[in-house]
Amino acid sequence: MSTQIEINESLVKYLQSVGYRSDPIIDNLEKETSSLGNVSQMQIAKEQGQFLEIITKISNTKNCLEIGRFTGMSTLFMARGLPPTGKIITVDNSDEFLPLAKKYWDLGGVSSKIQSVIGEGVEVLQSMIDRQYIVDLIFIDADKKNYPNYYELSLNLLNKDGIIIIDNMLWNGDVADMKKNDSQTSTIRDLNSKIQNDLRVEFSLLPLSDGLSFIRKK
């Protein structure tokens, strides 16, 4: 019987040192995002972005949807994984960091694949459903209170065999501490349980950075 190894600080440092292949555009975007202060914590880990790019490629995804853009690192990784004619719609409720994102999308040569939409995620997704829009892959990394809504709406936007990837599903480990019942922790914990029991999908919860839920619609 295999066992899960303990992911301690030294192992995290090792994973960060060998689990990502350095890229000057990504590294500079991370550096510039870090200069924004505490808000930079919203940035995905580069190892996660690398994973997103690979999944986008091997799944032959042509149309992506992203909920939660921030400074555009995850957008950039997924756009790189798309074919030349592929498209990604990235949704965020603010344009505050959009100029920074566009700067690096331009440097990465992927701007032509990206459509940025400013609006509330739930409203944008519902509008897309109403217009019968269909996508192959959805990445969710936005306000945690709406994670259950994003999950349900996303299932209505996906092709059969489409993929949903959700970030922060381990929530700094707080989901495993039953004494922690704040609204965000409880929401993520409940969503993990819902996905586990949802027969409409197949899934795997991956301990990559802050936890990625990898979901395939049957």
- Domains of the chain by residue range: 9-217
Per-residue pLDDT band at 39 (split at 50, 70, 90) = very high
Show Cβ contacts of residue 216 under 8 Å, excluding neighbours closer than 6 positions: 161, 162, 163, 201, 202, 203
Which pTM value belongs to this model? 0.96
Q: pLDDT higher for 3 or 170?
A: 170
Q: CATH topology for 9-217?
A: Rossmann fold (3.40.50)
Q: Is the pLDDT of residue 34 over 80?
A: yes
Show Cβ contacts of residue 191 under 8 Å, excluding neighbours closer than 6 positions: 147, 148, 151, 166, 169
**Residue holding tokens 């960091």?**
97
* Pairing, β 201-206 against β 158-167: unpaired
Q: Is the pLDDT of residue 5 over 90?
A: no
Tell me the two tokens of residue 212. 């990625």
Residue 202: strand pairing partners: 216
User: Tens of pLDDT along 185-196?
Assistant: 999 999 999 999
Q: Is the pLDDT of residue 8 over 90?
A: no
Q: Which of 117, 159, 174 is nearest to 142 (CA)?
A: 117
User: Tens of pLDDT along 158-176?
Assistant: 999 999 999 999 999 999 9
